[in-house]
């Protein structure tokens, strides 16, 4: 099979492409490397600032288009899969649709469908945007305005979203939240696959005994600090450190390239990630594969979706419960003798549910359903 990934986020498409090549398929990634993360890609579509950066970006896209033809599957990372205005994304989308066999969407970030689900009052108990019936801290923040999230309310964005949805043949979700948002709209044309993790490249370093000091790790994306809830997680980390100064150490990193970020977390025991999520994200899963315990999202709906009933090593924190982060971090420090077993369970969890071969096969199964009618 020939697969083109147009766009990427947090190395997801690049990781899939590597695994698909191991499995004998041809896979190409055309992306900006998730900007400062500088993840791998075959066709570099990085947009640099300024007028000349824009001109060069448009030239790079024009030059790349002939290389983005005759694929069995084109998997776009989002309705806005290029750093262009919606109508220009639509033109490139139409070109790709005309010159390839099947168009599929990766449901892996905020788009119109997810935005609507977050605000409908029934899909989620909480989200990036709402905590119950109340707006989340993100809404109204400077970060919200900087991200231009108000655009999702505009008619031109809905028109663009409708155009993309009419042109795709299905969607593959990497998180429970995106599956829950798309399933009412697409039915059996949406599949859950999970986030692929290259477990073979991530060395598992097991704890053999309780550590003298618990090392807590958090990675911050400077322009997504509030929406990810890392502001709340970081504040709780610091409070727990003040409570147990002789038993804890903190490491805080910002906007690191993917490879350096992965390396920096290795010496820690616990990672804090994704406060408003039902599901562990890429950072948490990478950490778990290396033997860290994840404090993140792991709601019952997520475990039900993936069919996991026994091994539940993720420490779920809820934004609807006052002091939940502090309470659970304190428990981990006081019961640090539990960390070795939780670390081993974390690695097993990732191998079962998120190892790259497992996730890639789910994609292949979904794509093959699209290809079979023609063959």
For the chain, where are the alpha helices, taking DSSP H only?
12-22, 50-64, 86-99, 112-119, 142-146, 155-167, 176-186, 230-243, 258-264, 282-289, 300-306, 324-334, 339-353, 356-371
Residue 167 and residue 213 in one domain:
no
Report the 3 state secondary structure along 295-319.
EECCCHHHHHHHCCCCCCCCEECCC
Residue 235 and residue 338 in one domain:
yes
Edge to edge, the sheet with strand 190-192 lists: 43-44, 26-31, 2-6, 73-76, 102-107, 170-173, 190-192
Residue 187 and residue 205 in one domain:
no
Q: What is the pLDDT along the chain (375 residues), one digit of tens a residue?
A: 999 999 999 899 999 999 999 999 999 999 998 877 788 899 999 999 999 999 999 999 999 999 999 999 999 999 999 999 999 999 999 999 999 999 999 999 899 999 999 999 999 999 999 999 999 998 878 787 777 667 888 899 999 999 999 999 999 999 999 999 999 999 999 999 999 999 999 999 888 899 999 999 999 887 778 888 899 999 999 999 999 999 999 999 988 888 888 889 998 999 999 999 999 999 999 999 999 999 999 999 999 999 999 999 999 999 999 999 999 999 999 999 999 999 999 999 999 999 999 999 999 999 999 888 654
Residue 180 and residue 211 in one domain:
no
Residue 80 and residue 53 in one domain:
yes
| Structural domain harbouring 155 | 2-196+356-374
Residue 20 and residue 67 in one domain:
yes
Please give the structure tokens belonging to residue 93: 């989308």
Residue 25 and residue 121 in one domain:
yes
Residue 185 and residue 203 in one domain:
no
pLDDT at residue 374, as a whole number:
56
Question: In the chain, how many domains are there?
Answer: 2
Residue 12: which CATH number?
A: 3.40.50
pLDDT at residue 100, as a whole number:
97
Residue with tokens 């616990």: 270
Residue 78 and residue 220 in one domain:
no
Residue 349: which CATH number?
A: 3.40.50.2000
Residue 204 and residue 143 in one domain:
no
Residue 12 and residue 121 in one domain:
yes
Give pTM, 2 decimals.
Answer: 0.94
């Amino acid at each position: 099979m020939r697969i083109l990934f147009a766009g990427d986020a947090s190395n997801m498409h690049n990781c899939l492409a590597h695994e698909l090549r191991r499995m004998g398929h041809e896979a190409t990634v055309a992306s900006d490397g998730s900007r400062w993360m500088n993840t791998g890609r075959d066709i570099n579509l990085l947009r640099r600032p300024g007028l000349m950066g824009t001109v060069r970006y448009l030239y790079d896209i024009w030059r790349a288009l002939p290389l983005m033809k005759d694929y069995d599957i084109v998997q776009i990372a989002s309705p806005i899969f290029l750093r262009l205005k919606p109508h220009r994304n639509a033109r490139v989308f139409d070109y790709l649709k005309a010159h390839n066999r099947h168009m599929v969407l990766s449901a892996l970030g905020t788009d119109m469908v997810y935005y609507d689900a977050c605000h409908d009052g029934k899909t989620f108990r909480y989200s990036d945007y709402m905590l119950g019936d109340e707006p989340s801290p993100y809404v109204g923040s400077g970060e919200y305005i900087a991200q231009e999230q108000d655009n999702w309310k505009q008619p031109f964005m809905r028109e663009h979203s409708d155009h993309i949805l009419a042109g795709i043949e299905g969607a593959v979700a990497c998180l429970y939240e995106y599956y829950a948002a798309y399933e009412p709209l697409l039915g059996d044309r949406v599949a859950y696959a999970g986030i692929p993790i290259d477990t073979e490249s991530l060395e598992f370093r097991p704890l053999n005994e309780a550590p003298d000091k618990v090392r807590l790790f958090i990675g911050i994306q400077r322009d997504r600090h509030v929406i990810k809830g890392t502001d709340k997680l970081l504040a709780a980390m610091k409070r727990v450190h003040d409570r147990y100064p002789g038993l804890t150490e903190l490491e805080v990193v910002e906007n690191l390239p993917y490879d350096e970020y992965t390396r920096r977390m290795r010496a820690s025991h616990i990672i804090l990630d994704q406060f408003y999520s039902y599901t562990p994200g890429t950072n948490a899963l990478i950490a778990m594969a290396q033997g860290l315990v994840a404090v993140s999202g792991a709601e019952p709906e997520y475990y039900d979706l993936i069919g996991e009933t026994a091994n539940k090593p993720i420490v779920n924190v809820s934004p609807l419960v006052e002091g939940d982060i502090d309470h659970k971090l304190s428990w981990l420090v006081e019961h640090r003798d539990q960390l070795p077993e939780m670390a081993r369970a974390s690695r097993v969890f990732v191998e079962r549910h998120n190892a790259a071969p497992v996730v890639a096969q789910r994609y292949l199964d979904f794509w093959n359903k699209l290809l079979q009618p023609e063959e």
